[in-house]
Amino acid sequence: MVVDTVGSMEAVTDLTLREIGLATSKVLGRSVDVANDTHIGRDLAVDSLALMNIIMELEDTFDISIPLDRLASVETAGDLASLIKDLRNRA
Amino acid sequence: MGLFDKHLAYRDAYNAIRQAGADPFSVRFDAVVSPTEGVINGKRTILLGTNNYLGLTFDEQAIASSVKAVQERGTGTTGSRIANGSFEAHVELEEALAKFYKRKHAMVFTTGYQANLGVLSTLVGRGDHLILDADSHASIYDGARLGHAEVIRFRHNDPDDLYKRLRRMKDVPGERLIVVEGIYSMIGDTAPLKEIAAVKRELGGYLLVDEAHSMGVLGEHGRGLAEAAGVEADVDFVVGTFSKSLGAIGGFCVSDMDDFDVMRVTCRPYMFTASLPPAVVSSTVTALRRLEEQPELRHKLMANARRLYDGLSGMGFVTGPTSSPIVAITMPDTERAIGMWNALLQNGVYLNLALPPATPDSRPLLRTSVSAAHTDEQIDQVLAVFAELGVAMGLIEAPLQRVSA
């Protein structure tokens, strides 16, 4: 039971990471690989404007609002995935 | 790690731009001789990027009232209005603005930037929602950061996208403030304000329009896009500036909402900065009156804008979606944008170079702003320079030569 829960959480995180990768590729106009520890600024060369545009895509993908002030703590794709998970639970 | 290490990439990019010629972000004028002409490196230059829409910087009456004010009231107020009080001209200016916009309340700020910083950070707070057009000016984004509201962006000029995002938060508590601009400063497009107002009416919230570039420019009386679109009743707050059509510096907000004046003791960018000096306030009061007295300035401005826009578009330059006093030419790449900007300056035309990420769509722009004070001859001279350089740099095709029979 416990294992199942952890397993499905991981699956959710993987799915979220995949969507982050798709949104990033769409905004940057090039394909990117995204893992949990991918640094959004350094590894993907995403500037502040591009990040805000990626957020707009993800809001539509998950049908949630992602307030910009919540991005202050986001450095890696994993951080962003947890934020999205958080906001989906809140909804 | 040094303090400036995080900025080194910008330093390198900036140095590369400067190596290509003049420094577009630090142009030095030897003299400015009129609203439309200056001297740069000893060369007379047409000013086509100064946001001086009505050409009022050299209005004789505005200058006279400014001179009188500085002589009678001194050079500065040396403090904020809550600490040092108001001069009669501050109150006079606020009354004139309220009357001009037909609103109950007006508040003056020391700059337009501070007006957005102050109003956006004060109107909404923790638990409220600020809904911004994605292409908003930096002062709007900075105002959003200064406050504690949750900030959501909607796709530029897209009322359906605004609708979708407001719907998404329909059960979430808190106030909503929607923020758009009358004319967007980079490519001169206007907000679809009628449709945005309709979304606001349906889903609720307040609407603020930043008319910085549209005051004195749009609307039969120059009240901006809200007037032109016929939706002033739906606009709860108008923010604007004195540093464009009124030829001075300063910002303001007008509204009909009760309790608006409480911002005078809660809005930090209003409270904790020195108020505008008498000379600026007095020239602004006069410039506002001149704006109202001379609708012909607005008509001439629009005619000049059309002349430039049609001329550039006709040659094959990629311009914005509509003719407006801001005419932006999209350049294929940064290198050619910088090259063209330098060549224009060498040929006596000054305009603005705008580089990503300050531009929409991450494409470099040559940004012009037209003035009512430009003569047809000046616009034609600008067009001639553009035609010659555009062909030389491979940006447009040479005009077809008439083949003799």
Tell whether A56 is within 8 A of chain B (Cβ).
yes
Residue A89 token pair:
């639970």
pLDDT of residue B23: 86
pLDDT band at B401 (very low <50, low <70, confident <90, very high): low
Q: What Å distances lie between residue B163 and B176, B201, B216, B387, CA to CA?
A: 12, 11, 30, 43
d(CA B180, CA B239): 10
Mean pLDDT computed over A8-22: 81
Would you give the DSSP letter of residue A76? Answer: B
Give B145's contacts in chain A (Cβ within 8 Å): 69
pLDDT band at A3 (very low <50, low <70, confident <90, very high): very low
Q: Where are the alpha helices (DSSP H) in B231-330?
A: 268-271, 278-293, 295-315
Would you give the DSSP letter of residue B294? Answer: -
Number of independent structural domains in chain A: 1
CA atoms within 13 A on the CB side of B388: 11
pLDDT digits (tens, 9 = 90+) for B109-163: 999 999 999 999 999 999 999 999 999 999 999 999 999 999 999 999 999 999 9
d(CA B366, CA B359): 10
DSSP-assigned beta bridge partners for residue B105: B255
CA atoms within 13 A on the CB side of B105: 15
d(CA B99, CA B359): 35
Would you give the DSSP letter of residue B37? Answer: E
Residue A58 lies in a domain: yes
pLDDT digits (tens, 9 = 90+) for B360-379: 777 899 999 999 999 999 99
- Asked if B83 and B273 touch (Cβ cutoff 8 Å), the reply is no
Q: Which residues contact B233 (CB under 8 A, 6 or more apart)?
A: none
pLDDT of residue B396: 94
Residue A19 lies in a domain: yes
pLDDT digits (tens, 9 = 90+) for B209-266: 999 999 999 999 999 999 999 999 999 999 999 999 999 999 999 999 999 999 999 9
CB contact under 8 A, B165 and A59: yes
CB contact under 8 A, B134 and A56: yes
pLDDT band at B357 (very low <50, low <70, confident <90, very high): confident
Residue A82 lies in a domain: yes
The single-letter code of the amino acid at B96 is A
DSSP-assigned beta bridge partners for residue B206: B177
With a threshold of 0.90, tell me whether the complex ipTM lies above it: no
DSSP-assigned beta bridge partners for residue B12: none
pLDDT of residue B350: 97
Q: Domains (ranges, CATH) in chain B?
A: 20-54+295-392 (3.90.1150.10), 60-293 (3.40.640.10)
Give B153's contacts in chain A (Cβ within 8 Å): 52, 55-56, 68
Tell whether A49 is within 8 A of chain B (Cβ).
yes
Give B155's contacts in chain A (Cβ within 8 Å): 56
Q: Is B259 left (phi over 0), alpha (psi -120 to 50) or beta?
A: left
Kindly report the CATH number assigned to the domain that includes residue A70. 1.10.1200.10
pLDDT digits (tens, 9 = 90+) for A16-74: 999 999 999 999 999 999 999 999 998 998 888 899 999 999 999 999 999 999 998 89
For B152, the closest of A48, A63, A65 (CB atoms) is A65
- B150-154 and B206-210 beta bridge pairing: unpaired
The single-letter code of the amino acid at B9 is A
Measure CA B46 to chain center.
20
pTM: 0.94
Tell whether A42 is within 8 A of chain B (Cβ).
no
pLDDT of residue B9: 83
Residue A33 lies in a domain: yes
CB contact under 8 A, A63 and B168: yes
The angle subtended at Cα A49 by Cα A48 and Cα A51, nearest 5°, is: 65
B positions 119-138 inside 8 Å of A (CB): 129, 134
Of the candidates A29, A91, A87, A86, the one whose C-alpha atom is nearest the C-alpha of residue A54 is A29
d(CA B135, CA B132): 8
Of the candidates B127, B227, B123, the one whose C-alpha atom is nearest the C-alpha of residue B178 is B123
Whether a cis peptide bond, with omega within 30° of 0, leads into B357 is: yes
d(CA B109, CA B88): 15
Residue that the structure tokens 């009240």 belong to: B223
Q: Is the pLDDT of residue B54 over 90?
A: yes
For B151, the closest of A48, A53, A68 (CB atoms) is A68
d(CA B230, CA B219): 9
The single-letter code of the amino acid at B105 is H
DSSP-assigned beta bridge partners for residue B19: none
pLDDT band at A8 (very low <50, low <70, confident <90, very high): low
Q: What percent of chain B has pLDDT over 90?
A: 88
Residue A7 lies in a domain: no
**Crossing angle, helix B193-203 and helix B159-168, to 10 degrees?**
20
For A67, the domain range is 12-90
pLDDT band at B387 (very low <50, low <70, confident <90, very high): very high
CB contact under 8 A, A67 and B155: no
Mean pLDDT computed over B322-329: 94
Following CA atoms B202, B203, B207, B211 in sequence, which dihedral angle do they give, to the nearest 10 degrees? -60
**Crossing angle, helix B334-346 and helix B376-392, to 10 degrees?**
130
pLDDT of residue A1: 39
pLDDT of residue B405: 44
- In this structure, the number of other CB atoms found within 10 A of the CB of residue B132 comes to 24
Give A49's contacts in chain B (Cβ within 8 Å): 357
pLDDT of residue B328: 96
